[in-house]
Amino acid sequence: MKKCVACGMPMKEPQDFALGDTRKAYCRYCVNEDGSMRSFEEKKADLERLLIRTQGISQGRAAIAVRSLMKELPAWQNYFRE
């Protein structure tokens, strides 16, 4: 099973992949209408909103959690090089 390189979501079925294309390395939640992957800032904001909505945590805690998650994902490695 593949995992999305941008958010870590498991991609099991074709509909889980960007535009239903199982050759894509990212999921349906990380894709723009033209098939390209969403930007770092867009994805960061999406993930923060998701955590706030589903976990009921503050913006500050969501930002910390998302940073920790994104540091481990292949799509964002260049954003966290020290």
Q: What is the pLDDT of residue 30?
A: 97
> What is the pTM for the complete model shown?
0.87
Reading the block at residue 40, the tokens are 């770092």
Residues 27/11, Cβ–Cβ less than 8 Å: yes
pLDDT one-digit tens code per residue, 23-81: 999 999 999 999 999 999 999 999 999 999 999 999 999 999 999 999 999 999 999 87
The residue written with tokens 């954003």 in the block is 79
